[in-house]
Amino acid sequence: MTDTATGQDKPTSMRTVVLASSAGTAFEWYDFFVFGTLATVIGKNFFAELGDTAGTLAALGLFGAGFFFRPLGALIFGRIGDKAGRKGAFLITVILMGAATFAIGLLPTYAQAGWVAPLLLILMRIIQGTALGGEYGGAAIYVAEHAPDNQRGAMTGWIQTSAAFGLLGALLVILAARTILGEDAFVAWGWRIPFLVSVGLLGVSIWMRLKLSESPSFKKLKDAGEESKHPFREAFGQWKNLKLVLLALVALMFAQGAVWYTTFFYLPVFLERFLKVEPKTVNMLVMTATAVSAPLYVFFGWLSDKVGRKWVLWFGMTLALVAFFPAFHQMARFANPALAEAEQRMPVTVIADPAACNLQFDPVGKAVFTSSCDIAKSALANAGVSYVNKAGPAGAVARVEVGSAQVPSIEGGALDKAALKAAKTDFETRLKSALAAADYPAKADPARMNLAGVFAVLMIFVIGATALYGPQASALVELFPTRVRYTALSLPYHVGTGWVGGFVPFTAFAIVTATGDIYAGLWYPFVFTLISVVATLFLWPETRGRSLDD
């Protein structure tokens, strides 16, 4: 706020600092998460001609593409924040994010505009990713530089809750629209509502952020004429700062991206796509877990004020690491026991010439997979069925074995578009009949589902994610010097969450379709988390209580 008599910024209360920073960040997360939650619906409207599997992969890839541009935003707005101030940088980011999100709600679909539609969608995602790249660092630093040294973990924990509130808001709006309109109307046009609603949230966020004054640490630096003139050169060209950037990336952000996005994005994809749980049930589970997670961020941030940042962070990532494979297997038994029983009793095998089997994912949606092997594996992925790969004779048509039943695939390379579609439909019909005869369920049976068990498994990952994320803002802010804090903090954060985390759903899903093992995708987050567990244990310094005025 500005004093009209002196023209100088008035000090901002800690309550206003936390509320305005958290609310604006929650709004930006809402915008970003609406897209991720609606990946399947987006695929149907913007990548309709690709089919279910390829369309979903393209939408998940586009969700990841927004994350790809987050480091660019980190560099752009980090430089602004370190040269001109924290307040202005993260006011611009919220405006950019809001405008792009509202625009997505107005875009034509593929059916209305052809390939112009996905191109426009890609542009909006780039703007969203760039804006979010400058948001988190600004908000976390702004709150931390206002907070007392002994309460920094708890205060910045509120910034971490913004992701939960943003995701919860996105899920609530989507669930309400789906329930009121019905699934058919929602898929046809109702998906626009969550994007259009964001314009009201944008107005509130801008109003709140205009009330803020500059952070005391940056103001002190600027008054002394010591703000950085070359943030990039100082942050990345001086080894004393660059080694901190690399440490933050490897020790914290690899795990943060892997654990958080597996918990809140890949796990719902796994439940819906592979375990065949109804979307509304998945939304309710994730929404409840997200609501429970909100106070846990503040709790673990507070706990790090008492016992130190390092061991709280390490506990969170280690818990997730040891839980990945056993917990997902147990969740499958809780969510769809009939599927687990069928896979044990009647395993499925794809017998095909390995030379005819391709890695079936294409983020830009231009590849066409027409070999008998690709068609067989795509159909099984659509059905959510695990399978074993077995080499067949060179040049032979692939076939699927379901117990003793044999289902020959089809070669589509010589067929035109209409004939290929008809042949695929015929094969999928025969395959579904064979799966049904072997008691493979088309959907998870609610009567046999152990929802409490599924939720308990989900909470293991929620605890791991919140223990890792709650103290993270304070730990990162304390790691870097004031002169380059915005730039140096933002880049590793958004490389980790953007490039590691943002691509978890897309990469894990693609690994599953390639291997036939619905659990194989977990190797992606497992490896990144393992690297962080080791690096944090041996390399991460304890930063609790450090002065931020350096």
Q: Report pLDDT digits (tens) over 200-233.
A: 877 877 887 777 776 777 777 777 776 767 788 8
Q: How many CA atoms lie within 13 A of 403 on its CB side?
A: 15
337, two tokens: 């026991």
Residue after which a domain boundary falls, among 403, 437, 471? 437
Domain boundary among 437, 458, 493: 437
Strand 348-352 to 388-391 pairing: parallel
Show the low-confidence residues of the chain (pLDDT under 50): 1-8, 363-365
Tokens of 476: 């990162």
**CATH code of the domain in which 110 resides:** 1.20.1250.20
d(CA 12, CA 417): 63
Whether residue 22 contacts residue 93, with contact meaning beta carbons closer than 8 Å, is answered with no
431 with 457, same domain: the answer is: no
Task: Tell me, yes or no, whether 403 and 492 share the same domain.
Answer: no
Contacts of 295 (CB under 8 A, 6+ apart): 161
Q: Which residues contact 243 (CB under 8 A, 6 or more apart)?
A: none
Residue with tokens 């000090």: 11
Residues 353 and 378 in one domain: yes
- Would you tell me how many other CB atoms lie within 10 Å of the CB of residue 449? 19
Say yes or no: 201 and 128 in one domain: yes
Residue 407: which CATH number? 3.40.30
Examine the domain organization and report whether 315 and 287 are in the same domain.
yes
Query: Beta strands of 320-451 (E only): which ranges?
Result: 348-352, 388-391, 399-402, 405-408
Placement of tokens 């987006």 in the chain: 42
In a domain, 252, yes or no: yes
- My answer on whether 331 and 355 are in the same domain is no
Instruction: Examine residue 145 and state whether it is found in any structural domain, yes or no.
Output: yes
pLDDT for residue 226: 67
Separation between Cα atoms, residue 457 and residue 386, nearest integer Å: 21
Distance CA 191, CA 109 (A): 11
pLDDT of 98 reads 83
55 within a domain of the structure (yes/no) = yes
* Same domain for 347 and 329: no
- DSSP character at residue 390: E
Q: How far apart are the C-alpha atoms of 273 and 60, rounded to whole Å?
A: 13
Residue 125 shares a structural domain with residue 270 = yes
Q: What are phi and psi of 243, to 5 degrees?
A: -65, -30
Amino acid at 9: D
Dist CA 115 CA 103 (whole Å)? 17
The Cα–Cα gap between 304 and 466 comes to 12
381 falls within a domain? yes
Identify the pLDDT of residue 81: 77
The tokens of 309 are what? 């940042």
Judgement on whether residues 239 and 367 belong to the same structural domain of the protein: no
Which residues is 391 bridged to in the sheet? 352
Distance in angstroms between the alpha carbons of the first and the last residue of the chain: 25
Nearest CA to 263 out of 253, 271, 274 is that of 271
Q: Evaluate whether residue 9 is within a structural domain.
A: no
Within this chain, do residues 246 and 363 fall inside the same structural domain, yes or no? Answer: no
Query: Which pLDDT score is estimated for 487?
Result: 84
Give the integer Cα–Cα distance in Å for 474 and 470. 9
Residue 221, domain member (yes or no) = no
CA 384 to chain centre: 21
Q: Are 169 and 28 in contact (CB under 8 A)?
A: no
Same domain? For 352 and 498 the reply is no
* Domain hosting residue 394, numbered range: 340-437
Phi, psi of 47 (to 5 degrees): -135, 40
* DSSP three-state, residue 460: helix
Pairwise CA distance, residues 54 & 367, whole Å = 9
Last residue of a domain, one of 437, 458, 489: 437
Same domain, 102 and 139: yes
- Judge whether 550 lies within some domain: no
3-class SS at 305? helix
Number of domains in the chain: 2
Whether residue 220 lies inside any domain: the answer is no
The structure's pTM equals 0.81
Is the separation of the CB atoms in 440 and 276 below 8 Å? Answer: no
